[in-house]
Amino acid sequence: MTPKKHIATPIRTKEILNKYVFSFKKSLGQNFLVDVNILKNIIKHAGIDRKSGVIEVGPGIGALTEQLAIHADKVVAFEIDQRLLPILQDTLEDYNNIQIIHEDILEANVHEVMEAHFETEQPVHIIANLPYYITTPILMKLLKDKLPVSSLTVMIQKEVAERMAAKPNTKSYGSLTIAVQYYTQAEVMMSVPRSVFMPQPNVDSSVLHLVKRDVPPVHVEDEAYFFALVQACFGQRRKTLRNNLTRYFEETYDKESINQKLERIDIDGTRRAESLNMQEFATMANEFYNADK
């Protein structure tokens, strides 16, 4: 079913906002997309088809939700702002394959929602235009929940997308890179200029496509320990691995003990964290974890 007038145009968006006297909340990072072609490209990159189930985070006034409803089997959207519920009921009234849930995605039991709304073998994708201030907490919650989804496609701040898809020995590479790529294969699919949003944000955006891994690319004894150690290694980027680890383990190991452990796994303590690949981080985390037991 094709709508008479797409929501994602400047004129229609203004009409809707004026009709409901809607004011943007900075605290919720609300920026609505007003370019239908970009939305269609996002859906294409996400691999959505008529068999797909979709979880959307933050539908706003329904611009992306509408396009998803046209291309997918069913859309379940989480919206935290109660003021948007009557607007969504109005803008999406022509579609019978959309379910709006008024809940903070950070508090939601997404496993239960998926069981209630999607078929057991149905491919499910997560799509979201995430507020810049809360991108990482939302994404890490969705990844750590280990949801049975095929992929996550998110529109986020350009610099954050670059960090999540970065390679070793680059400025963007860091603990966030490791955390995201442990669970997924990450690729920046397209850039989105700030001019296609209302209101216009202060930063440019990118669409990041994350394909869920069946199993992580490395073996770690304890995931929480692994992530904490990686974060510590990047604590002060300009410092060596040895210095960051000495600071992290100050109550457990002295510098000599740390040197011995690093030598045992053939990692030079004078390197910086950005030069280590994920396998090296995993080997190091396992070495320290087993020594701690």
Contact 190, 161 (CB under 8 A): no
Angle between helices 223-233 and 278-292 (to 10 degrees): 110
Token pair 């400025």 is at which residue? 171
Q: What's CA 152's distance to the chain center, in Å?
A: 7
Q: Which residues pair with 53 in a beta bridge?
A: 74, 124
Residue positions in the annotated binding site?
31, 33, 58, 79, 104, 129
| DSSP H stretches of helix in the chain | 10-19, 36-46, 63-71, 85-91, 110-117, 135-144, 158-164, 175-183, 223-233, 241-248, 255-264, 278-292
Q: What angle do CA 126, 98, 110 make, to 5 degrees?
A: 40
CB neighbourhood size of 101 (10 A): 18
Q: What angle do CA 53, 65, 85 make, to 5 degrees?
A: 115
Q: How far apart are CA 131 and CA 150, in angstroms?
A: 22
Q: How far apart are CA 110 and CA 143, in angstroms?
A: 11
| 98 HSE (CA, 13 A, CB side) | 26
Residue 23, φ and ψ in degrees, nearest 5: -115, 135
Contact 60, 77 (CB under 8 A): no
Residue positions in the annotated binding site for S-adenosyl-L-methionine?
31, 33, 58, 79, 104, 129
